[in-house]
Amino acid sequence: MSLSIDEQVALLMQGTEYGDETLRRTMEAELRERLQEGRPLRVYLGVDPRTSDLHLGHTVPLRKLRQFQDLGHEAILVIGTFTALVGDPSDQLRGRALMSPEEVEANARTYAEQAFRVLDPQRTIIRYNAEWLSKLTFADLIRLASHFTVQQFLARESFAERLKSGDPIFLHETFYPLMQGYDAVALQADVQIGGTDQLFNIVVAGRKLQEAFGQRPQVAILLPLLPGTDGVRKMSKSLGNHIPLNTTPEDMFGKIMSIPDEAMLIYFKLITRYPPPRIAAVEEGLRSGSLHPRDVKMELAREIVSIFFGEEAAERAEAHFRIVFQERAFPEEMPVFSLSGPRALVDLLVAAGLAASRSEARRLIRQGGVRLDGETVSDVEAVVAVDRPKVLQVGRRRFLRLVPGGDA
């Protein structure tokens, strides 16, 4: 990828968020300065394998690392086999449960496999921070801790809220920023990528420790948390608003089509491969009315699905969506219900709130008021299974999108 320095800066700063304009300008200036040196930068992203199932929200920093990778920089994915034992307290209002090394190792294997759906595996360096963190002595820990005050830690939002409410703050949680900060030292990093919740760990801890060890402080590339399918809360499996990577192209396409229109631009900026000028054109088209939001969202869904499944799968998913949700006049937005396995239709109607009781569910079925993908279901003993998104309809106006996965 051959871009001017200005184009590179625009691309790499696209979608970033710092919560402070002065800090943003400082990071942009430092990034520009290092790019002008004309050498490959050492860019890393640290991930803690506390889960084995990734969703689109997890891919936001991976996409940014891929952008650096495509520009010829050294892309390092650090699997936090040691930091995951503690767990990052940055956005937590309660202490995380400690994980066993065995759990971390198992998750780490699947995490790397899924990360390569965004990163180029041939150009990605995988490192495990147990390599250096496990070798630190207690004397080393004292040295690291001497660069910070207790007040700095307690001023963090998550700790301040817990202190205010009387919830416990465990001492081992304060080790986490020191551990992550030392990752930057061990790697002699030029750039670290992370979410906005990582500001303290990257900007305060990482940069300060690098300076303490005589290194040039890293540039922080901070990215906002991707909103889920509700368009408001951060994407999370526990909130049920996530779009998993391990799903079908049709399911991913349908879920992207369900996000609110106002969330589209942040998805374009954080998930797609689009450069800034192309995203600016989409934004201007939506603002002026020359582009219809439905068509833009179809373009978004096609782009994202093609990233993870390829162009042919994206085309099939789009065709499926058009047949199921448009040609049959189904609404584009409807509640989503996940099925982990086959379920009796009567029970499903009750569980989804489409019938007040099993007897009412049976009555609706017998009267021909229940349809699955447009086809009337008349068997009260019917069992529903989904290997792709399907639409369950009760009456004329009540619709439910059924998707494969864990129960909603």
CATH of the domain at 272: 1.10.240.10
Percent of the chain with pLDDT over 70: 93
What is the end-to-end Cα distance of the chain in Å, rounded?
A: 42
Q: Which of 338, 334, 333, 319 is nearest to 247 (CA)?
A: 338
Question: Does 20 lie in the same domain as 143?
Answer: yes
Question: Does 255 lie in the same domain as 201?
Answer: no
Question: Does 163 lie in the same domain as 71?
Answer: yes
Q: Is residue 242 part of a domain?
A: no
Q: Domain span at residue 275?
A: 249-327
**Number of separate domains in the chain:** 3
- 148: which residues sit within 8 A by CB, 6+ positions away? 177, 178, 205, 208
Q: What is the pLDDT of residue 310?
A: 93
Please state, in angstroms and rounded to a whole number, the distance separating the CA atoms of residues 300 and 271: 9
Residue 237 assigned to a binding site? yes
Q: What is the pLDDT of residue 241?
A: 86
Question: Does 102 lie in the same domain as 188?
Answer: yes
Q: What is the CATH number of the domain that holds 128?
A: 3.40.50.620
Q: Is residue 128 part of a domain?
A: yes
Q: What is the CATH number of the domain that holds 340?
A: 3.10.290.10
* Residues listed for the chain: 408
Q: Is residue 235 part of a domain?
A: no
Q: Which of 206, 38, 44 is nearest to 125 (CA)?
A: 44
> Which one of 206, 223, 240 terminates a domain?
223
Confidence band (pLDDT; 50, 70, 90) for 256? very high
> Which one of 223, 258, 286 terminates a domain?
223
172-196: average pLDDT: 93
pTM reported for the whole predicted model: 0.74
Question: Does 388 lie in the same domain as 303?
Answer: no
Confidence band (pLDDT; 50, 70, 90) for 52? low
Question: Does 340 lie in the same domain as 317?
Answer: no
- Evaluate the CA torsion angle 244, 249, 252, 255 in order and state its sign: negative
Q: What is the DSSP string of 82-113?
A: TGGGT---TT-SSPPPPPPHHHHHHHHHHHHH
Residue 96 has pLDDT above 50, yes or no: no
Q: What is the pLDDT of residue 88?
A: 61
Q: Is residue 144 part of a domain?
A: yes
Question: Does 109 lie in the same domain as 85?
Answer: yes
Percent of the chain with pLDDT over 90: 55
Please state, in angstroms and rounded to a whole number, the distance separating the CA atoms of residues 122 and 224: 28
Residue 94 has pLDDT above 50, yes or no: no
Q: What is the pLDDT of residue 328?
A: 60
CA 145 to chain centre: 31
Q: What is the pLDDT of residue 398?
A: 85
Compute the chain's Rg from CA coordinates. Answer: 24
Q: Is residue 234 part of a domain?
A: no
Please state, in angstroms and rounded to a whole number, the distance separating the CA atoms of residues 137 and 170: 21
Write the pLDDT tens digit of every residue in 352-369: 899 989 999 999 998 888
Greater confidence, 339 or 211?
A: 211
> Which one of 327, 360, 385 terminates a domain?
327
Q: Is residue 239 part of a domain?
A: no
Question: Does 345 lie in the same domain as 314?
Answer: no
Question: Does 185 lie in the same domain as 253?
Answer: no
- Give the amino acid at 148: F
Task: Indicate the range of 46-55, 192-201, 274-283 predicted with least confidence.
Answer: 46-55
Question: Does 348 lie in the same domain as 322?
Answer: no
Q: What is the pLDDT of residue 84?
A: 79
Question: Does 288 lie in the same domain as 196?
Answer: no
Q: What percentage of the chain's residues is helix, strand, coil (to nearest 5)?
A: 50, 15, 35
Q: What is the pLDDT of residue 272?
A: 95
Q: Is residue 377 part of a domain?
A: yes
CB of 244 within 8 A of CB of 81?
no
Please state, in angstroms and rounded to a whole number, the distance separating the CA atoms of residues 187 and 185: 5
Question: Does 342 lie in the same domain as 323?
Answer: no
Q: Is residue 228 part of a domain?
A: no
Please name every residue paired with 399 in a beta bridge, in sequence order, or none if there are none: 393
